[in-house]
A and B are shown apart, each in its own frame.
Chain A
Amino acid sequence: MTNPNGRFGIHGGQYIPETLMNAVIELEQAYNHFKADPDFNRELTALLNDYAGRPSRLYYAEKMTRDLGGAKIYLKREDLNHTGAHKINNVLGQALLAKKMGKTRLIAETGAGQHGVATATAAALLDMECVVFMGEEDTIRQALNVYRMRLLGAEVIPVKTGTATLKDAVSEAMREWTSRIDDTHYCLGSVMGPHPFPTIVRDFQAVISREIRQQLLEKEGRLPDAVLACVGGGSNAIGSFYHFIEDKSVRLIGCEAAGKGIDGFETAATINTGRVGIFHGMKSYFCQDEYGQIAPVYSISAGLDYPGVGPEHAWLHDIGRAEYVPVTDEEAVCAFEYLSKTEGIIPAIESAHAVAHAQKLAPTMGKEQILVITISGRGDKDCAAIARYRGENIYE
C-alpha cells in the first residue's frame, strides 16, 4: 500500500526537520531488515501472545444484536490486551525494534494515556528508559494513567504549550527527539507522523484485522459486511481495516470524534471538517483555519482529541474505500453506558464512538449481515470523566 517515499496517494511523506532525517532513514532500514527476520518475528509473536494475551477474542454480542434488531454484532476485544488497549501491539513491535537498533531510551506522546502506559510497560519489560509527553489538560482528565506510567518507572512530562493536549504532546516529543537521537527511539503511538511511522504502526496493528478475518471465518464461514472502529490518528482503525481493504464487499467505517458537533469549532472530526495540509511530518487532512493555523480541536475523548488523521486514512477516504462518520460526545457517552449495561463491557470512551455508530447502523442492516466493532480499549480510565460529564463528582 505504501510507495517507496511513504506516500498514500498524495498523503504521507516526511515533512520533518533535517536534524531527524537520518534517524527516520535509519529506522526505515532497520524495520525493513527486521520485519523479514524470523528471529525478530518469533520474539515479537511470543511477546504478543504470552505477554500481551493475543489473540484477542472476537465476541458475539448476542444481547446487543437482539436489542438493535439488525446485523449480527461481533466485538473485537482489544480491551482485553495487557495494559487495556490495542496500543500494546504497536509498542511491543517498536520497542523490540528499537532495542535491536541499540537504542536504550524510548520517548512517546500520549493523549488518553493508553499509549504512554503501553510504552512505559514495554520499557519496563525490556529494561529501557522511558519519557512520556502528555498534555497538561490530559494529565488532569486521565490522572490514573499518569500514576500508572510513573508506577511503571516512566517519567511523565506535562506539556503546557498550545491547547495542552495530544497535538502539543506530539510536538514536544518531536522537539525532544531532535535534541537526543543517538540513544533514543521515538515510539510514535499512531499511524501518523513522518514515513516510515504510518507504515510501521499499521503493520504492527494489522494483527487486529488478520485475527478478525480468521476468527470470523471459523465462526461464520464468511467475511463481515462492515467493520467499525474509532479514528483519532487512526491506529486501531487501520489495524482493523487493513486485511479487508482488498475485499470490496466489506464496508470500512471510521468513527471520528465530533465533540459538540461538526457545525461548530468544538470538534475533532478531521476528515469531516478539515482540509489537506502539512503538519507533524505528514501531508493529510487537518483541522485548520484559512491561513493554515492548526485548530484547537475538542473531544471528550483525550485519545481522539487530535487535529489530524493518519495519511493512509486520508487516502482511503480520497479513493472512497473507507467511510468516515462523525460521532458526538453525547452519542459516545450514551454508547459507553449502553455497552456497559447491555453486554457488561465498559469500553474506552474512544471505542464508544464506534459503538455509537453501530447502534445507528445495525438496525438498518439485515439479520443475515455481520458487523464487527473494534473495542480498542477498556473504559475504566474514563469512569471519573464520564461521571463528571453526567454531573457526578467522584474520586478516581
Chain B
Amino acid sequence: MEHFLANLGTGFAVALTPANLGFALTGALIGTLIGVLPGIGPIATIAMLLPLTFHLEPVSGLIMLAGIFYGAQYGGSTSAILVNLPGETSSVVTCIDGHQMARNGRAGAALATAALASFFAGTVATAMIAMLAPPLALVGQSFGAPEYFALMLLGLIAAVVLAHGSVVKAIAMIVLGLLLGLVGTDGQTAAQRFTFDFVKLSDGIEFSVLAIGVFGVGEIIANLTRGGQSRSLLAKRITRLMPTRDEISLAWPAALRGTALGALLGVLPGGGATLSSFGAYVMEKKVARDPSRFGKGAIEGVAGPEAANNAGAQTSFIPMLTLGLPGNAVMALMIGAMMIHGIQPGPQVMTERPTLFWGMVASMWIGNLMLLVINLPLIGIWVQLLKVPYRFLYLAVLLFCAIGVYTISNSTFAVILAAMFGVLGYIFVRLDCEPAPMILGFVLGPLMEDNLRRAMRISGGDPMIFVNRPIALGLLIAAAILLVIVALPSIRSGRERAFQEG
C-alpha cells in the first residue's frame, strides 16, 4: 500500500506540472468537441494530431491523446441526449432514455447525470488500473475465440431486453440487424453478399452511417412530420438543470453497477467494450422495480450505460499499458506515439518507466475531473440550444449529420446510404419498431460469426471446445439463463392474452 501511494505520488508529480495540465485540458476540450459532432471520432482526430506529439515530451503527448479519447466518450452522450444523434457506438443506448428525458424537459438532469456518472466511473476505473492492472490484464488474455463467441451470444440475447414493446418485434429487429451486418465480403469465401455491385459496400455498412441515419436523420424526419415545428424540441418546459433528490437516489446505484460491468468488459480487447453500455442498460432494466419506465426517460438508463461506457474506456488502457497489446484502434495509435519516442510498450514499461506509467494513470483521473469541470457549466448552454426554434435546429443537425457521415471514410456514397437509413428510421418510428436491438444485432452479428468460425477451426470442428473451456461454458450457461428470464414474461403474458381472447 505504501508502495502504491509512493507510485501515485510520482504520478501526480508528473501530471500536475502546469504544462501537462494544459495538455490534459487541451485534449479534453478537443475530445468533447469531436464527441459532440457526429461521425468524426477520436481515432481520426488522434491520427491527425499524432505528428504534433512527436515534438512533445512522451508523457505530455500521451496525456493529450488520452484526453481526446475520453473527452470523446463524454461528448458523444451530449448529442445523443440533445438531438438523438449517437456519435459513438456506446451512445446508441444513451439515445433511448437520455433523449426521452430531454423531451420531458429534463435535458439538464440527463446531461448532469451522464457527466457525474462518467466521472464516478472514471475515478473508480483509474483506481483499478493503478492497483489491479496486471491481474486484470490476465483476464483479457484468457479470452479466445470460443469465449468471445459465448460473450457475444449473451449480448445478443440481452438485446431483446433493450426494447420496451413487443418481444417478437424486437427479435425481428435483431434479425434485421444481423442481415445488415452480412452486407459486404464474406470473410471465408471472399464472395460478395448484398453489395449490389457497389465497390463501396464490399467492406460492409459502416456503423456510424447506420446509426446516424436511423437515429439522427430518422428523428429529424419524425419531428418534422409532427407539425407545429415552430416551437422548440421540448415538449415540456425545462425544469431545474440538476437531478432531483429522487433521481440521484435512483442514479447512483445504477452508476455503481455500470462501473463494475464496464470496467470488466473494457479489459477484453476483442470487442468487449462495445457490449458494456448495452449490457449496463439491460442490467438496469432487469433490476428496476418498474421496468416500464424504461424508454420513457428513466434516469438509470442514462446513469448505468454512461458509467459503464466510461469505465470501459478507462480500463481498455490496461492491455496496452501492461502487455503492449492494443485493444482497439485508439490504443494502437497510443503505442505508435510511444514508439516514436523509443519507448517499447509492454510489461516492462511499469518498471522501467515508472514516471510515464504513473504519470499517465494520474493524468487519467485529472482528465476526468477536467471533463466534469468543463461539462457541468456547459449544460446550461446546451440546454439553451434546445430553445432554438426547430425550424433552424433541424437544418443544422441535418447538415452536421451529412458532413459527419462524409468524414467517416470521405465517401459521398455513405451520405446517400445514411439518407436511405433515415427514411427507414422514420418508418421504424411510425411502426413502433425500436432500432436499438437492430443496432446491437448489426454490431454483434459479424463478430459472432467470425469467432464461431475461428473457434471451430481451432478445435478442428469439435463443438466440445465450448464445453471444455470453463469461461466459455460459464458464459453460455449465463446466456441460457438470460434466455429463460427474457422469455418467461412474454410466455406468461401470451398465455394471459390467450385466456382473455378465448
Q: Say whether A associates with B.
A: no
Residues of B that sit less than 8 Å from A by CB: none
Residues of A that sit less than 8 Å from B by CB: none
